[in-house]
Structure 1
Amino acid sequence: MKKIFCITGMAMALMLVLNITALAQDEEVKVRNANEDPDPVEVKGFKKENLFTGGGVTASFYSGGSLLGASPVLGYKLNDYFDAGVVVNYVYTGSRDVYNYNDKLRQHVYGPGVFARAYPIPFLFAQAQLEHNFTNVNYTASGSARISEKYSASATSLLLGGGLSTGRAKGGTTFFYLTILADVLKNRNSPYVDLSVDPNTGAEKVRIVPVLRAGVNVGLFQKRYNRYDPEY
């Protein structure tokens, strides 16, 4: 009799544990979903989960020189097709044989900018970026034809181009990207042009240097359970 009573008690205890576990699981699902309404939550105005950071690196190599830099960004996803943001730019440029054989030109460029991207499809985008850069230049002469000098300058650049991304999915802002851009303003003080001088006439020639940038977008304040995903 005691054995039967013990078995019955154990069975009742097991059923009680299973019921509590089931209730806990149901409650956990409610917390995970965060909303029992089948309709998506519509939040108007500024949405902090649309913010993203990240940035890219710059690399361009041409005959007699190179261009290297970094550009951290802070952006905002306007909608499923457009992003916009601000960028802080730093670029180092090194060139040789600028005016005479074996002379050297070193410059450090820094400045703010703004950008906009349009995504006709998730993995393809067009980009426009407006920058105003300040330049510190150190020129080292190789002979007596010119003297070494240092000077500062500034220039506004408008970079236009496009790129590929690993996929800008709806509801998310995290992905890798690769862009190719060109400074269409062609200011002689721009870090994105190649400046040469005709030794016979002294005339300057400004050539656009294609700029490659690889980077990453990292979404900020993303909801853990995809509350803002359109599928919910």
Structure 2
Amino acid sequence: MKRVLVVLGLVSLSVSVFAQEEEEEKSHKFRRDNIFIGAAIGLGLSSGGFSGGANPEIGYSIAQWLDAGISTNFNYNSYSAEYNGGIRQRSFNYGAGMFVRVFPIRSVFLQVLPEYNRINTTLRDVYSGQETIYKQQAPSLLLGAGYTSREIGRSSFYTVIMFDVGNNPESPYIGYLGSKQPILRTGFNFYLRPRRK
């Protein structure tokens, strides 16, 4: 809860810092050239754990300091039996969420990404050979910070590191015994109507 309050405080601070810049923008109309699409590759590592996947997204640059959009995800997670009580775990999850990126500094952003995931998990006891399959659903609340070469109207590269600050043990980003895996995503965004100099 404290982390969420800190993020909300930073967002509020960013809003006040960039309010003057936004007032200078004369056009508040919807602009098609502010729409972007992109995708990221995700990677998470922990002791005995691995996760990787792809995250297509579509968004809109609301202001110089604010982007928002929809993100989808397709992830694979595994945990080694050695670190998981003799159980080898393999999971595939897919889901979607809405993201907000706030740019307190031109190339640095804070990101909030609530997601809802569907997870298919296979557990195999390496000693007995018994296999169990589970299907479940879980929400996640990913918070993080990143770096980007963003300029509205031009293609950009970004990297973000996030953590699931939620407490749902079924989240695909929370490992064995509740360990929180760092989620590293790197990708590109392309504006649908690039601006010309």
Q: Give the TM-score, by structure 2 length.
A: 0.81
Matched with 2:130 is: 147
Gaps of 5+ in 1: 1-40, 196-204, 227-232
The reply on whether 1:156 has 2:128 as its aligned counterpart is: no
Matched with 1:59 is: 43
1:45 alignment partner, SS class: coil
Q: Give percent identity, aligned residues only.
A: 33
1:191 alignment partner, SS class: coil
Tell me by how many angstroms 1:45 deviates.
2.2
Tell me by how many angstroms 1:207 deviates.
1.4
Structure holding more strand per residue: 2
Alpha-carbon RMSD across the aligned residues, in angstroms, is: 1.8
Read off the aligned partner of 1:93 and give its amino acid letter: N
Read off the aligned partner of 1:161 and give its amino acid letter: G
Which of residues 181, 184, 196 in structure 1 aligns to 2:165?
Answer: 184
Larger Rg: 1
The verdict on how the C-alpha distance between 1:164 and 1:223 changes in structure 2, with shifts beyond 3 A counting, is: closer
Matched with 1:208 is: 180
* Structure-1 separation of matches of 2:93 and 2:61: 28
Tell me by how many angstroms 1:55 deviates.
1.8
* Structure-2 separation of matches of 1:65 and 1:221: 40
1:118 alignment partner, SS class: strand
* Structure-1 separation of matches of 2:180 and 2:173: 7
The reply on whether 1:83 has 2:67 as its aligned counterpart is: yes
Instruction: State whether residues 52 and 173 of structure 1, in contact with CA within 8 Å, keep that contact through their aligned partners in structure 2.
Output: no
Matched with 1:223 is: 195
1:23-70 per-residue CA deviation (whole Å, 9 max, x = no partner) reads xxxxxxxxxxxxxxxxxx965421110000112111112211200011
Instruction: State whether residues 77 and 172 of structure 2, in contact with CA within 8 Å, keep that contact through their aligned partners in structure 1.
Output: yes
* Structure-2 separation of matches of 1:88 and 1:215: 13
Read off the aligned partner of 2:30 and give its amino acid letter: F
Instruction: State whether residues 155 and 191 of structure 2, in contact with CA within 8 Å, keep that contact through their aligned partners in structure 1.
Output: yes
Tell me by how many angstroms 1:194 deviates.
0.9
Which of residues 170, 175, 178 in structure 2 aligns to 1:194?
Answer: 175
* Structure-1 separation of matches of 2:173 and 2:80: 16
Misfit runs of 4+, over 4 Å: 41-44
Tell me by how many angstroms 1:219 deviates.
1.1
Q: Matched residue pairs, number?
A: 172
* Structure-1 separation of matches of 2:157 and 2:195: 20
Which of residues 8, 22, 34 in structure 2 aligns to 1:50?
Answer: 34
Instruction: State whether residues 77 and 173 of structure 1, in contact with CA within 8 Å, keep that contact through their aligned partners in structure 2.
Output: no
Gaps of 5+ in 2: 1-24
1:185-207 per-residue CA deviation (whole Å, 9 max, x = no partner) reads 03111111112xxxxxxxxx311
Matched with 2:113 is: 129
Tell me by how many angstroms 1:143 deviates.
1.8
Q: Give the TM-score, by structure 1 length.
A: 0.69
* Structure-2 separation of matches of 1:173 and 1:192: 32
Read off the aligned partner of 1:94 and give its amino acid letter: S
Tell me by how many angstroms 1:147 deviates.
3.4
